[in-house]
Amino acid sequence: MSDFAKVLIIDYGAQYTMLIARRVREAGVYSEILPYSARDETIRAAGANAIILTGGPDDAGEPGAPTLSRAVLDAGVPVLGICYGMQLLAHTLGGKLANSRDREYGPAELSLSTPSPLWDGIPADAPFTVWMSHGNRVMSPPPGFTVTARTPALDLAAMADDTRRIYAVQFHPEVHHTRNGERILRNFLFTVAGLKPDWSMRSFVDRTLDACRESVGNDKVVLGLSGGVDSTVVAALLHRAVGDRLHCIFVDHGLLRRNEGEEVTDMLRRCLPGINLHHIRAGDMFLSALKGVEDPEEKRRIVGRLFVEVFEKEARKLKDVRLLAQGTLYPDVVESSSAKGTVIKTHHNVGGLPETMQLKLLEPLRDLFKDEVRAVGAQLGLPGEVLRRQPFPGPGLAVRILGEVTEERLEILRDVDSIVRRELESSGWADKIWQGFAVLLPLRTVGVMGDARTYENVAALRVVDSVDAMTAEWTRLPHDLLATISGRIVGEVKGVNRVVYDISSKPPGTIEWE
């Protein structure tokens, strides 16, 4: 991505880090996240045109709290500190911190006290609402800084050193609760840093095609094709870039939905004429390896390991194959690691390749969010039926069956899933939501059917709204539709006598249950 203007975001563990990255990209500038623990040489090698320091849960200056890499200040590019980032700048550059007597969590009224490039176009004669989330404060700014804004509870809510182009705000301009937040970020990007909005899906496609041609050269590349949006867009990119040097391997691991294997292969051959597609049926191998396994992380590791093994075996049959392509996205990378080193869940296509596998990894979508991937697909001319496909986890139904995966439980969930999908489509809700599916729970409950006692499985419905899968809100489906879905499942699927609806948001829950 070196051809694009780049904003480097240093993550100190903030819940809004990904939102900052999105806001920058929405402004037309490429953004990239590094954890605060990144080495100085990594930060220097990133070649950033501007740097943003995020918020975080720690108290700057306390023992064990994250520190500021010297490479940030030595880079000579504009810096914006947000919340913890502001406190860290103050602590590092000679200011004073103190615990706030009046802590601010939520909305606050910000008054602009001194002109600043960040405030360009914002009326200074009236306070406006910003979103605060802090427990301590900057009591006095470092030498060379000017106080530029305050709130009723905070005499120093923003500060600036115009000479060094270092700016800091205690509030969160990236959240929609902050009025003028988008303008403040754009002022930093365009007025302070002088960047050009050169990040677009058209420019991404053009440059990625060139990069893929250079990476592949005269070799061949194999792609793990699932039929989902991500891998299909990768296939379309590579098919256009290298033509018949691309070999797509569709591993049918036996954990797909009803008739999905045939549907996927038919769709791919129709949408990508002439594509080299190898359909490998390996259901027995995966199901055998999952026997007795209940831990969700272990399921993901097993599926990921076998997936790669099948790839390796099939790739050996092809001559001059040097690369393995995958549809890894940015949220996959972030969820598999964080600034605090906490893994949310292991993504089977993010763990790297075993040393025994002599294939170089190619991940052309690794820097994109899901909605950006769909935009790339549209640029490539993929039809709506492909781009509208809902996300489906790499391990398939293995992570939608809580507990052990068996053929019997797979068949039950396939029947339930078919009903959920059909009803969402026929009601028109399939095009309104981000994702809707069923989960088979590892418990049974007592019921009454036909005047007889039953003791059967529980199915949970999960339907959510989202933009990029980093956050999600449960969908308020009409009660009549929920009643129809529940009635059909209980009435038509043998082995299920109770249906529940998941009303958890992300966070705290993830979209998938495992």
What is the per-residue pLDDT across 466-495, written as a single tens digit (0 to 9) for each? 876 777 899 999 999 999 999 999 999 999
Q: What is the pTM of this model?
A: 0.70
In Å, how far are 3, 74, 171 from 342, measured between CA atoms?
32, 29, 25
Give bridge partners of residue 182 from the DSSP assignment: none
Q: Is the pLDDT of residue 338 over 70?
A: no
Q: Is 271 designated active site?
A: no
Q: Is the pLDDT of residue 352 over 50?
A: no
Q: Which of 83, 212, 248, 271 is catalytic?
A: 83
What is the pLDDT at residue 201? 87
For 6-18, the pLDDT digits (tens) are 999 999 988 788 8
What is the pLDDT at residue 353? 46
Q: Which of 91, 172, 253, 347 is catalytic?
A: 172
For 82-136, the pLDDT digits (tens) are 999 999 999 999 999 987 555 556 789 999 999 999 999 999 999 999 998 766 7
Q: What is the DSSP letter of 188?
A: I
Q: Is 172 designated active site?
A: yes
Range 345-351, long-range pairs (CB < 8 A, 24+ positions)? 345/296, 345/297, 345/300, 345/510, 345/512, 345/514, 346/297, 346/300, 346/301, 346/304, 347/300, 347/394, 348/300, 348/301, 348/303, 348/304, 348/307, 348/394, 348/395, 349/224, 349/304, 349/394, 351/304
What is the pLDDT at residue 497? 95
Token pair for 437: 């599916």
Residue with tokens 């609806």: 501
Q: Which of 91, 134, 174, 456 is catalytic?
A: 174
What is the pLDDT at residue 334? 61
What is the pLDDT at residue 110? 95
Q: Is 212 designated active site?
A: no
